Structure formats: structure tokens, C-alpha cells
A and B are shown apart, each in its own frame.
Chain A
């Protein structure tokens, strides 16, 4: 039997119990946000920066996050250029006092697809500036390899476009990345809708999932956060337990030896 308590998620040399990273946006209320984050069992919560005169930016929100006691992972959501994303990462580092950055650089407004070329440039700049970069990227093997070559220890390919809830739209690509980068921490980021999507990602060998809308947008975010926590645990245990080989032809599970009435008709 696998001892899951000794099976940790590793992010740039630090170890965490939970394989679910959760976002802090889109909840119906601050209280539900806090309750859902707690219910998820996550050790890491994502946050961002916006203009101080915008709605809900500031000390009140930050205090709620600090009260959770979780590690924060700032993002660069909404940036469309290398210059923007580098500046925002530097600002995040000062405010949140962490060198972790969830690097988001949007290349297309329609599906919020990451800009792979700009992402490589920005990653190179930020790694050299001392950041520990967690790049949000597409499920392109070569892009992931290039990010790994630059020095990223963690890669976060999408399951599907942000907020769609479609699940893993290209499991083959995700599986190939897992096989080709066996030593890297891989996190499916974005596009998950229901807990079975998270379970599938972990069953493919992914180390964790990062999600927000699937919990915040559920009818009962607190219950859904718990459901995702269970799904992630199930998926990880399944991966470690090594599933049976799939077959094309049926094979009986009940022994045929000693079958009564055999060839009597």
C-alpha cells in the first residue's frame, strides 16, 4: 500500500503535502473564498496585483489571504508583452516577498493562449534575475523542453483554455510531456471543470493541478473544493499504484476452470 504521507509535491526544492494549488478569484464572497481554500487542503494559493484604486485591491484582501497561512504564488495575469510581464513580476516580488512567479503572458485574447515566444524571452530574463519561474504554457512538448532548458524546474501546461472547464483536451500531448520530462515537476494549470479532470491529470503522472474557476464557479464552492482534494489524492494513488494494461478484447475475471454446465447443450 502506498504511503501518500511521504509522497510530496516538490517546487524548486520545497516540499508540500497537497497536490492542489488553488486560486483566490471569482468567489461569491470573501468568506466563501476563505472556506473553499481551507476545504481544498491546498498549501499554495494564487494572487495578483492591480491598480490600488480598483475595486477590492488592497489590504483587506491581502489580510484574508495572510489569514489562511498558505504560501502565495503571485501571477502575471493579463500581461501581453515581455516588458509588462517582467515589470509585474518584479512588483509582485516586492509586495508578496517571494521569488516565485506564475508567469502568464497572453498571446491571444480569444482563448487566452500563452505567447510561447515571449514566454521564453520573459522566462530567461526572470530566471537570470533570481526568480523561480512557474510558466503557464501550452501543451507543446518543444516549448516545455525549451523552458526546461532555460532552467525552469516546474512547468504548467494548460489542460484547456482558462475558465472553459473543458478538462484535458489533449491528453496525448500532456502524456508525452510527462514521458519526455520525467524529472520536472509538471502541473496542469487551467481548463479543469470537474474533479475527474484533476484525477485524470494525476493519473497521467502530473504532479499537481492548479485551478480556480472550477471551484469558485461551482454551486457550492466549499464542497467542490473538497471534491477536488479527494480527486487529486485518488489520481495520485492511482498513478503510483500502476494501472492494469488496457486491452481490446474482453477477459473474464471469474475463473473458467470448473464452470458448471460446460458443453452440456
Chain B
């Protein structure tokens, strides 16, 4: 199925958890995740399964003013 991962279209197998998708796309800590604009706490990543067309944001620390 198609997902949007940090603004890029990706294809993944159906039924994968957010945790599995993050691992397969090389996400490296520290990061936090949002699914369709809603924050997903780290503890819920293994049990959260995106659906086709969902948007995943994986954010990490950066400079800020």
C-alpha cells in the first residue's frame, strides 16, 4: 500500500506496524512520530498500523531560535 513518509510517497506491505515501517526506512533515534498530524507516543508505535494513504512524519532535533 502507499504511504507518505516525511513528504515522500513510499510503498509498504499492508499490516505493518509503524515501528516496523520506521525500522525498514532507517529511522534513527532520537525522533518522534506523527500519523496524519496526530502525535503517536513511542510506546504505541508497535501497535499502530497505518492504512493506505496515511501520512507519517518522523521528526528529529534541529537548530532553533
Contact = CB atoms under 8 A, between A and B. Distances in A.
B41 A50 contact: no
Contacts of A33: 63
A51 B6 contact: yes
Contact of A77 (B8, B27, B28, B64): B64
B28 to A, nearest CB: 6
A62 B37 contact: no
B58 to A, nearest CB: 5
A190 B7 CA distance: 30
A239 interface: no
Contacts of B59: 49-52, 57, 88, 91, 95
A24 B32 CA distance: 20
Chain A interface size, under 10 / 10 to 19 / 20 to 34 / 35 or more = 35 or more
Interface string A6-39: 0000000000000000011111000001000000
B28 A59 contact: yes
Given A59-B29, A59-B30, A91 B63 contact: no
B65 A162 contact: yes
A23 B62 CA distance: 11
Chain A at the B interface: SS class: mixed
B27 A52 contact: yes
Interface in B14-47: 27-34, 37-39, 41-42
A87 B65 contact: no
A74 interface: yes
Given A91-B32, A92-B32, A48 B62 contact: yes
B30 A48 contact: no
A48 B64 contact: yes
Interface residues of B, number: 25
B60 interface: yes
A33 B33 CA distance: 27
B60 A52 contact: yes
A25 to B, nearest CB: 4
B64 A94 contact: no
B60 A74 contact: no
Contacts of A59: 28-30, 60
Given A51-B7, A52-B6, 8 more contacts: A47-B64, A48-B64, A50-B60, A53-B6, A59-B30, A77-B65, A91-B34, A94-B41
- List the 9 shortest-distance A-B pairs measured between CB atoms, nearest first: A48-B64, A212-B65, A23-B65, A91-B32, A25-B63, A90-B39, A49-B59, A62-B61, A51-B6
27 contacts: A24-B64, A26-B63, A46-B64, A46-B65, A47-B64, A49-B59, A49-B62, A50-B59, A51-B59, A51-B60, A54-B62, A56-B63, A57-B60, A57-B62, A59-B28, A59-B29, A59-B60, A61-B61, A61-B62, A62-B61, A75-B65, A83-B37, A87-B37, A88-B59, A91-B34, A95-B31, A95-B61
Interface of B: 6-8, 27-34, 37-39, 41-42, 57-65
